[in-house]
């Protein structure tokens, strides 16, 4: 398709965020930009339950680290068992992030920064060079 949009590899997301306003704004913004938000959950247990379903295909998890019932690190470990990539979206990057996640975006961030971060992960997953890396973003996976 000439001058068309590139096909996204990442279109279905799971948002794991325990701050209601951030969760609501993130979900709205992602949907407004053509992403499918499979669920927005605020607990590790809920994220694990969703990942355990064979009928749910998640392309990327956006996970905060501090959650009411544990850590986003626990979500990332569960996601790794299912080969689902995780981007930590949090104030402080956990030390084990490089081994558990594909990227990190520091809070607070602008909506466009989150979009650019997702697009960068998508590009690398597709074997393309990541463009427009936002401030406060770190990509852990090398370009293919």
- Write the pLDDT tens digit of every residue in 25-46: 999 999 999 999 999 999 999 9
Measured distance CA(138)–CA(136) in Å, rounded: 7
Structure tokens at 117: 């971060």
Q: For residue 129, what pLDDT is reported?
A: 87
User: CA quadruple 78, 80, 29, 89: dihedral positive or negative?
Assistant: positive
Q: Helix crossing, 44-52 with 72-81: angle to 10°?
A: 10
Taking all residues of the chain, what is their mean pLDDT, rounded to a whole number?
91
Measured distance CA(5)–CA(16) in Å, rounded: 28
Structure tokens at 38: 């499979």
Q: Report the C-alpha dihedral over residues 80, 85, 87, 92, rounded to 10 degrees.
A: 20
| pTM of the full structure | 0.92
Q: For residue 142, what pLDDT is reported?
A: 61
Domains by residue range for the chain, with CATH:
12-139 (3.40.50.2300)
């Amino acid at each position: 398709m000439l001058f068309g949009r590139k096909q996204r590899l990442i279109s279905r997301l799971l948002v794991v965020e325990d701050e209601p306003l951030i969760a609501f704004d993130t979900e709205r913004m992602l949907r407004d930009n053509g992403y499918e938000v499979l669920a927005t959950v605020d607990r590790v247990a809920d994220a694990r339950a969703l990942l355990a379903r064979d009928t749910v295909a998640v392309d990327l998890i956006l996970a905060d680290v501090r959650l009411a019932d544990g850590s986003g690190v626990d979500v990332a470990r569960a996601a790794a068992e299912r080969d689902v990539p995780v981007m930590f979206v949090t104030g402080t990057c956990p030390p084990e992030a490089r081994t558990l996640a594909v990227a990190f975006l520091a809070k607070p961030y602008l909506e466009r920064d989150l979009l650019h971060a997702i697009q960068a992960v998508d590009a690398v997953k597709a074997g393309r060079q990541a463009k427009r890396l936002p401030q406060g973003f770190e990509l852990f996976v090398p370009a293919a």
